[in-house]
Amino acid sequence: MSSTGKNFVFAYSFLVILPLVGLAGVLRSGRTLQAPATIDGAWTVSLDSPQNNSTVCANVVAALAEKPLSISQSGTGFVLSVPGNPPLEGSGTLAGKTLRASFERTGGFCGGHAATLIGSLNQQAGTLTGTLAVADCPSCAPVAFLGQRAIPGKGGH
């Protein structure tokens, strides 16, 4: 075989066959991947009224009670925002159907602490349930919340 023929076989193998083998390997390994649950969009959040209001941080209740919650999601990470004066923002992660987020605002909530949200997603019902608490604040009891999609059945963009 001439050197031109050898160069053609080498170039063809390197530029065509090798990428096709690589693509097949990527597609085969990606078969088991699953997209994370979708929480992206607008939510309405209602907080449970605790039996003893004196143990609940009023700043958290005032910041979140009956206000729209906007979630912007990218993969398993998400950003939360709640309108207000000042607006409330937070970020978190989604692991399966469990979400964990932390809200921070200027001056903090009770004693300058951040609020944490731990919840569970029910995709069938379009709801989020869980608790909202202020970290490192023994006088602030966790508050249960229920979040519902603002537009049922819509899961994102």
Write the pLDDT tens digit of every residue in 95-106: 999 999 988 766
CATH 3.40.50.300 is held by the domain 41-149: no
* pLDDT, mean of residues 76-83: 90
Report domain extents, the chain.
1-33, 41-149
Q: Which amino acid type is present at position 85?
A: N
Mean pLDDT of 96-125: 83
Classify residue 50 by burial, with Cβ atoms within 10 Å: 0-12, 13-18, 19+.
middle
Condensed to tens digits (0 to 9), the pLDDT of residues 25-51 reads 999 988 888 888 999 999 988 887 655
Q: Which of the two residues, 13 and 57, has the higher pLDDT score?
A: 13
